[in-house]
Structure 1
């Protein structure tokens, strides 16, 4: 909230105060869009999470400006449609790519529809300056409370430190729940914590060479958590409750990470079973790693993704389906907006870019089920427009508008918890920016354009498309199946490369979590859409059971060198069930 208050409002004030209102408005818009992506996490992860979409937005603004200045309505619509196809396919790669695709299209719509005396590259620079200002605030300002009680606390790594500590807490919570009804949910929470920590530590180094001692320490502490997580998952698979003492060690390690202190005394070992022996061995190694972490540099296993994976995701069934829908929505909304541009329906409002920009946000499936996000967008826009209409009649100009932009910027991080709330806050902010830029009050046209975009997206969202519906969900399940198979082959091959095994395990669980998220979103759609992904949740459950069993096999092989009949039986049962569901994950010959 502090960063939001210091971003869009001061940028607009600087633009108005220096007589460069149009660049100030663009910079404020960029800061607002970056603020939507400014989520809790580490500073290094924020460089990619905020920087990549900002670059895409500047590129879209550049392309949209030159296309809008040099092309007639029909060629311009075709260009915007092709951009929609490209951005939609890219959005299927992952969350950062999805945000980049959105910013690309919003920038293109603004560039094509907002007339300005400045050239395309000048507008792109203003956009980058606005997003860069928020990123600078993210890197420079400490998190509130991060310095309390720690005179030597290096606040640059507070997000990374919190993420690693949450992993140890999640391990302890899973150990407490083993054998109980909440064990499955706790295992999923451990996966989420590991994913978050992996992201927090995966960004660019903020120092040259191998990084600071604090950075090396955090990397070593994260790596030390991986065998603990593996042993805890094996105990979860066995299903036999463990003593309360087993969770004390991970909790003390979590406190040591948060306080940047030593581990102190750890509980005595309890080694009655192979998985418990593995847990105690991992706890001892973690304590040793905590002591020497400042001297040895250990990089956490990175995600096993490359450019080829991104291309496959963008060009696969999910990317093609999403790309076609985005292209159709973006192109149709741009065409309708231009056709209405000179009619009385638009009144005094001179710009048509709001309609395609609104459609971009509505068509995104990662923002929630289609019907839900359409209703939330409509309700939020009406509420925001009515609130702004009342405020605009009372606030002085331009000082009152600048203050309103600053307040809305501070509210964006809170409003991201619900799409309707976010829509309301962003509507007020955008209307204030438009009026500060010299345009008349535009609440009525904003409501009309949003309702029109809602209707358009509802129609396009239910249109049949070439190929199999629900392709995005099935593509993620296929990726998860391939990752599970690679992990199984490595474990049953009894390779001694534990770092490789941990990397494969992380990828298997992470792709499963991504598939689970996609399945949950698809299941919440209206029946006409939800039926296309029916049964996929069953496949995800079996894949999770397969990966859990593979983890238990890995721990047991480390301790005894052989598998029990129960391990082999569970592996075969999971693979047979997957085969019945139409998913082929062959059992390696080593089994």
Structure 2
């Protein structure tokens, strides 16, 4: 999820952080292409199922399309294959397991099974956004399979779920984007993502020496992250033999040295002439229009970073024409790093909270289901499924999620009660499902709005399936789920609180140290010093011999740093009882950011001179000292000693 814009200064000074976050909403143009796909997904699928008298399977397919629509974010088509497909596969597996577990075991054993799935999904979700989406759909599918009164078999339900998500994915791959850029429309998302990188480079160059340089550098990191994801999906053509495919890789690879030079210039803190940003802007236009670059104005070559910028522009113009970009877009994370994310302190804490919330929701729901309270209402699975969304930190701080979920559910239930009183059945409800599907991509800008739209859609599906109007039950179960997740969220867990934030911060620190060690290994100041990897001026780490590795390490350092800063910012907006456990982590992340920026400036200077200046050495020593103190203050283990050249 992209960062939400800050509140005005007056609102920030009046509202506590946990309430201010709940009132924020993302902004931007309406994604009309996603709106079109949403309108063509759940509603038409449900209509076809009603016409062929398979309403139950149509409801399952519509739910899958709704969940896929929530994940249908801006980006490239290739990235959408993994972003939509992996969660859909997990959801189908959960549906299959939940169906047979619900049929074969009793209430107590079923609760144990669901709790175990919650632990698995929670630890898996700590790996990254796609894994988190897969974990969510795994649990939602399991709850639906165990509790939804559908006569079809588990395999039929799972296939219907895959069909619903697969239909939306097929629309994503097949439909052209309105106003798509020149060329093969299948690559419009990739071209837009790469072009935004060049725009971000130009904006950073314009901001050099100004107060917003740090914000512009963060925007450049976000643009590079987005482009990296856009290019990292499966090939759209076999063997990737198309010239458009090769050109995109070349254009992304050519942006990396430009981003490096721009970061070094911003670190120097000296304003640049307007001429410096003209070249990157022309490159951005060439990407968007799928044309040649034409002549690029050369910036002044009066310093190492400016010479690096000029060289990068020349290489970019050449790479645009030749189209040989390699695979620098690939994020190289080994199995050990993924396992550490899943089963480390952060993953364990997250997994336990998801398991307890999901399991407690299932236990309470089944207890109520077998009591007099439910009456005719048989959708007990709503309670654990709601708890799954509430326990996910991807959607914001805990109290913000709870407030938004409660408000959105009440609003959605009241709206549906009004619609149900006047709409014809089933055609009116099918049309309402189609409308909600179209609104899902817009509603994802605020969790309360998303909840309201999803509530109307789900209640419509319930009535199409032959059940009575259930707005009151939906509100009651949501409030119960909110209470369960609030309690579980404040329970003490084994180990230190804030494990997820510290895990991401530790990963960012490790990536920053790896990047620094790689750059310093080529410093002439290390010649003969016995420093790890030292190779003197003729080495291959910081110099031209192994720049691809350096750029990969730099990307990983900035990317993990952005993830750590996001996790720390979310934790800071929790209630004070939770926020105090991660105090100081934002300061450590800020030191890491300055360290990576300084390392980038060192790399560019070493390319030009082979030695560091006194300013570089003093700044590195200062930042490493601050980082060591910060790690101790927030409870992170000390890092391996980092040698700093002394001249």
TM-score, length of structure 1 as denominator length: 0.98
| 2:120 aligned counterpart, secondary structure | helix
Count of matched residue positions in the alignment of Structure 1 and Structure 2: 585
1:433 to 461, 484, 487: 461
1: CA distance, partners of 2:175 / 2:334: 32
2:46 to 12, 21, 24: 12
Q: In the alignment, which residue of structure 2 is the partner of 1:106? A: 140
CA drift at 1:489: 1.1
Q: In the alignment, which residue of structure 2 is the partner of 1:230? A: 260
2: CA distance, partners of 1:107 / 1:590: 56
Q: In the alignment, which residue of structure 1 is the partner of 2:386? A: 358
After superposition, residues 361-510 of structure 1 pair within 5 angstroms as 361-494=389-522, 495=541, 496-510=545-559
2: CA distance, partners of 1:179 / 1:100: 43
After superposition, residues 89-488 of structure 1 pair within 5 angstroms as 89-146=123-180, 150=182, 153-293=183-323, 296=324, 298-488=326-516
Q: In the alignment, which residue of structure 2 is the partner of 1:28? A: 62
CA drift at 1:299: 2.4
CA drift at 1:501: 0.5
2: CA distance, partners of 1:571 / 1:426: 50
1: CA distance, partners of 2:432 / 2:335: 43
| 2:422 aligned counterpart, secondary structure | coil
* Partners of 1:220 and 1:300 within 8 A in 2: no
Structure 1 residue runs of 5 or longer lacking an equivalent are: none
CA drift at 1:269: 3.2
TM-score, length of structure 2 as denominator length: 0.89
Moved more, 453-462 or 341-350: 341-350
2: CA distance, partners of 1:542 / 1:71: 53
Q: In the alignment, which residue of structure 1 is the partner of 2:108? A: 74
1:569 to 618, 622, 629: 618
Q: In the alignment, which residue of structure 2 is the partner of 1:588? A: 643
* Partners of 2:251 and 2:325 within 8 A in 1: no
* Partners of 1:31 and 1:131 within 8 A in 2: yes
2: CA distance, partners of 1:211 / 1:308: 33
What is the CA deviation profile of residues 432-459 of structure 1, one whole-angstrom value per residue up to 9, with x for unaligned ones? Answer: 0111111111111001100111111111
* Partners of 2:119 and 2:355 within 8 A in 1: yes
1: CA distance, partners of 2:626 / 2:239: 49
Segments of 4+ in structure 1 off by > 6 A? Answer: none
Q: In the alignment, which residue of structure 1 is the partner of 2:5? A: none
What is the CA deviation profile of residues 63-107 of structure 1, one whole-angstrom value per residue up to 9, with x for unaligned ones? Answer: 000000000010110110111111111111111111110000000
1:544 to 573, 590, 593: 593
| 2:358 aligned counterpart, secondary structure | helix
| 1:360 aligned counterpart, secondary structure | helix
Question: Aligned-pair RMSD on alpha carbons?
Answer: 1.0
1: CA distance, partners of 2:318 / 2:576: 54
CA drift at 1:137: 0.3
2: CA distance, partners of 1:140 / 1:174: 36
1: CA distance, partners of 2:401 / 2:147: 25
